[in-house]
């Protein structure tokens, strides 16, 4: 212990601390301020509004969070003799992503066609309505995971636009900043998605249960006949998500004795941790 | 730049660095378990130099964490402020205890911290409660890893403080 850091005892050479304790009044004031912010956020969703612009300001930090991964990728690219090939593969991947997303529609459409139901909806599917967006940041918040996507400032994206990955529905745009947009993931506990099952054609609302967890269908009557393995798609009700987007599949149907509803668990196809690119479906 | 400002800058730099590391994109399997370095660094500075770090710093970095994490605005801020107060209130006792004892204390502190996020403040999910076994397991592992990480964090920051921060 250096003498210039603290007073030092001449007997034991131990540091003598003489720092006054923190004033409780300041702690109480700060706590009240935080509680005020929390109430405002819960009541008026002020956090979402602030976050949409703070994401732009915090861009250097979110950029740095990807830095190790980027260094690793760039290092690999630098020593690779196939740089041009990589670029070509990248552009093909993007094109493939678009095609896969449209295929999700096509799969649903083939089912619809077989039932002579909802044929006209196929006419509204337009590949050009998809915007490719790169993942900027994904928070580790288990119950309310936050996905931030980079967008071009010239791109006009509206709130509540559907966000899809190559595997299925990822969520919807919850706020839009200047160069980034925030996505409310389907896994988020605040998320509710109107869905329809592929085989039984039953309508339901799918709610998220947190990142890495299965979703659950809300208030399903015990007479409903869901089968394990059948797929669920967006139903288009509520007019937030377009119909026919693949969401997930039924993995368990439990009939609890002490409840008047079935417990239907849905495994989400889209995994935001593993995906780097997403498609934003522009609402018209 | 005078000494005091320079010291303050080093402290803030270490906190920013910890925050960046906290927000690295990790695989899903370890996402819920990775230690919260920002809080570990904040606790260290509260313990080592309580006159240099206080409520304002805890509040500021807590709010930034809220913005980056997507949690309710003010929740991290509130928890950081309360932990800062606890650390400063008991830093005389905490500082002189052996490092393994400090780790044990931090284990409980981190467990309480993690459990604060189970409160269904948004009233959105009927199934969300403290008896969620998966969350409890994750919270336990998170607290354990964070307390283990206290040892290298302490040693590293102490070396950094002795080298860079001159009073």
Task: Name the most confidently modeled range: A256-260, B56-60, B95-99, B113-117.
Answer: B56-60
- Residue whose C-alpha is closest to residue B11's, from B34, B37, B44: B44
User: Mean pLDDT over residues B21-33, rounded?
Assistant: 75
Structure tokens at B90: 């008991």
Structure tokens at A27: 């702690």
Q: What is the pLDDT, as a whole number, of residue B155?
A: 93
The helix (H) or strand (E) run that includes residue A72 is helix A67-78
pLDDT tens across B91-104, in order? 778 888 899 999 99
**Across the 284 residues of chain A, what is the mean pLDDT of every consecutive 10-residue run?**
56 63 84 92 84 77 71 70 75 85 76 55 60 82 84 76 87 86 88 88 88 86 86 86 87 86 89 83 74
Q: What is the pLDDT, as a whole number, of residue A118?
A: 45
Q: How far apart are CA B25 and CA A67, in angstroms?
A: 10
Where is pLDDT greater, at B63 or B131? B63
Q: What is the pLDDT, as a whole number, of residue A152?
A: 76
Give B-chain residues touching A140 at CB under 8 angstroms: 23, 26, 31-32, 34, 69
Q: What is the pLDDT, as a whole number, of residue B126?
A: 56
Q: Kindly identify which residue of chain B lies nearest to residue A3, measuring between CA atoms.
A: B167
Phi/psi at A162 (5° precision): -70, 145
Contact between A51 and B74 using a beta-carbon 8 Å cutoff: no
From residue A198, how far is each of A155, A170, A195, A227 by CA, in Å? 34, 19, 10, 10
User: What pTM does this model have?
Assistant: 0.72
Residue B6 reports pLDDT greater than 70: yes
Q: Which of B3, B16, B20, B25 to mutate to test the interface with A (most CBs of A within 10 A)?
A: B25
- Residue whose C-alpha is closest to residue B43's, from B145, B150, B142, B161: B150
Q: What is the pLDDT, as a whole number, of residue A18?
A: 60
Q: Is B69 helix (H, G, I), strand (E, B) or coil?
A: helix
Q: How far apart are CA A196 and CA A228, in angstroms?
A: 14
Q: Kindly identify which residue of chain B lies nearest to residue A19, measuring between CA atoms.
A: B51
pLDDT tens across B129-147, in order? 666 777 888 889 999 999 9
Q: What is the pLDDT, as a whole number, of residue A125?
A: 58
CB within 8 Å of A162: residues ≥ 6 apart: A169, A171, A172, A234, A240, A241, A242, A245, A280, A281, A283
Query: Which B residues, 108 through 167, put their C-beta within 8 Å of a C-beta on chain A?
Result: 117-118, 121-122, 124-125, 127-128, 134-135, 138, 166-167
Q: How far apart are CA B148 and CA A240, in angstroms?
A: 46
Q: What is the pLDDT, as a whole number, of residue A47?
A: 81
Contacts 24+ apart (CB under 8 A), B6-14: B7/B49, B7/B52, B7/B164, B7/B165, B7/B166, B7/B167, B8/B52, B10/B160, B10/B164, B10/B165, B11/B45, B11/B49, B11/B52, B11/B53, B11/B57, B11/B165, B12/B57, B14/B41, B14/B45, B14/B157, B14/B160
Contact between B69 and A141 using a beta-carbon 8 Å cutoff: yes
Q: What are the helix (H) ranges across B23-132?
A: 28-31, 37-48, 55-69, 75-89, 91-96, 99-115
Residue B43 reports pLDDT greater than 90: yes
Residue B124 reports pLDDT greater than 60: yes
Q: What is the pLDDT, as a whole number, of residue A120?
A: 43
Cα atoms in the Cβ-side hemisphere of radius 13 Å centred on B80: 32
Q: Is A43 helix (H, G, I), strand (E, B) or coil?
A: helix
* Interface ipTM > 0.95: no
Where is pLDDT greater, at B118 or B139? B139
């Amino acid at each position: 212990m250096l003498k210039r850091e603290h007073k030092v005892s001449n007997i034991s050479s131990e540091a003598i601390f003489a720092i006054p304790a923190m004033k409780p009044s300041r702690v109480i004031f700060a706590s009240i301020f935080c509680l005020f912010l929390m109430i405002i956020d819960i009541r008026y969703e002020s956090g979402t509004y602030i976050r949409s612009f703070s994401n732009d300001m915090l861009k250097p930090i979110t950029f740095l969070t990807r830095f190790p991964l980027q260094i690793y990728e760039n290092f690999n690219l630098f020593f690779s003799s196939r740089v041009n090939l990589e670029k070509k593969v990248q552009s093909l991947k993007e094109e493939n992503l678009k095609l896969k997303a449209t295929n999700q529609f096509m799969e649903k459409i083939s089912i619809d066609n077989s039932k002579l139901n909802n044929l006209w909806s196929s006419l509204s599917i337009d590949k050009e309505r998809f915007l490719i967006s790169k993942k900027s940041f994904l928070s580790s918040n288990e119950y309310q995971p936050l996905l931030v996507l980079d967008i071009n400032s010239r791109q006009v994206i509206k709130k509540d636009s559907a966000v899809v990955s190559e595997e299925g529905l990822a969520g919807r745009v919850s706020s839009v900043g200047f160069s980034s947009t925030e996505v409310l993931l389907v896994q988020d506990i605040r998320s509710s998605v109107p869905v329809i099952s592929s085989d039984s054609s039953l309508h339901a609302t799918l709610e998220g249960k947190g990142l890495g967890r299965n979703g659950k269908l809300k208030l399903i009557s015990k007479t409903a006949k869901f089968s394990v393995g059948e797929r669920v798609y967006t139903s288009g009700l509520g007019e937030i998500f377009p119909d026919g987007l693949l969401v997930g599949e039924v993995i368990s149907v439990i009939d609890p004795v002490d409840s008047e509803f079935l417990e239907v668990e849905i495994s989400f196809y889209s995994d935001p941790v593993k995906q780097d690119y997403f498609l934003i479906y522009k609402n018209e | 730049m005078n000494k005091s400002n320079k010291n303050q800058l080093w402290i803030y730099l270490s906190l920013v660095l910890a925050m960046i590391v906290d927000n690295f994109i990790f695989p899903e399997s370890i996402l819920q378990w990775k230690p919260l370095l920002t809080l570990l660094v904040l606790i260290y500075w509260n313990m080592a130099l309580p006159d240099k770090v206080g409520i304002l710093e805890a509040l500021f970095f807590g709010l930034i964490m809220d913005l980056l994490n997507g949690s309710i605005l003010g929740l991290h801020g509130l928890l950081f402020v309360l932990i800062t107060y606890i650390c400063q209130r008991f830093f005389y006792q905490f500082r002189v205890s052996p490092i393994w004892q400090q780790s044990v204390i931090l284990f409980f502190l981190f467990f309480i911290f993690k459990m604060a996020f189970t409160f269904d403040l948004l009233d959105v999910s009927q199934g969300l409660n403290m008896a969620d076994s998966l969350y409890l397991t994750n919270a336990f592992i998170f607290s354990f890893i964070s307390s283990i990480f206290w040892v290298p964090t302490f040693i590293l920051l102490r070396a950094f403080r002795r080298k860079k921060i001159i009073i």
